[in-house]
Amino acid sequence: MQYWLMKSEPDEFSIDDLQGRPKQTEHWDGVRNYQARNMMRDEMRVGDQVFFYHSNTKVPGIVGIAEVSREGYPDHTAFDPNDPHYDPKSDPDAPRWFMVDLRYVRHLKRTIPLPELKADPALEGMALVRRGNRLSVMPVTEEQWRHILTLE
């Protein structure tokens, strides 16, 4: 069992959107960063637990939990010229970008705001709180996972 954190702008796709999808499941498309791509393509496994993080919003923070329901497969939005995430360099025969499917698990009892995560000594070293971090998919250790759940 592995743990992850994935960011989304709630104006684009929120945890409420995920909860409202058929089977409470949606594919996580549009990631165009190689580090994040590699984790989705190579490392994430069905059943892995994911913190759902809202970025670029009034109160950025962890809002809930999802789980991986399908392992990495090609991100088809890269093939569609009409899609905002279109990438002409991604070929269906040699896809450059990958995604996973996530299934909604639950909301946290409250949003754990970013400043609180940053101020927490137990979370020092977590990728999320490192300066200038822009990764949209990152690993979370089991210790960090458990600790964050004590904060809700």
Partner DNA sequence: GCCAACGTTGGC
List residues near DNA by CB under 7 A.
7, 9, 32-34, 55-57, 60, 89, 114-115, 118, 130-136
Identify whether the C-beta of residue 74 lies closer than 8 Å to the C-beta of residue 85. Answer: no
Two structure tokens written together for 130:
């490192």
Phi, psi angles (nearest 5°) of residue 11: -65, -30
Q: Which is nearer to DNA, 44 or 117 (CB)?
A: 117
Q: Which is nearer to DNA, 3 or 97 (CB)?
A: 97
Q: Any idea which residue has 């609180």 for tokens?
A: 116
Altogether, the residues listed in the chain come to a count of 152
Q: Which is nearer to DNA, 36 or 68 (CB)?
A: 36
CB of 4 to DNA, least distance (A): 14
Two structure tokens written together for 126:
């977590």
Beta strand segments in 55-144, E = 61-74, 98-113, 137-140
Q: Which is nearer to DNA, 106 or 130 (CB)?
A: 130
Q: Which is nearer to DNA, 7 or 103 (CB)?
A: 7
**Cβ-based neighbours of 31, under 8 Å, separated by 6 or more:** 37, 40, 75, 97, 98, 99, 136, 137
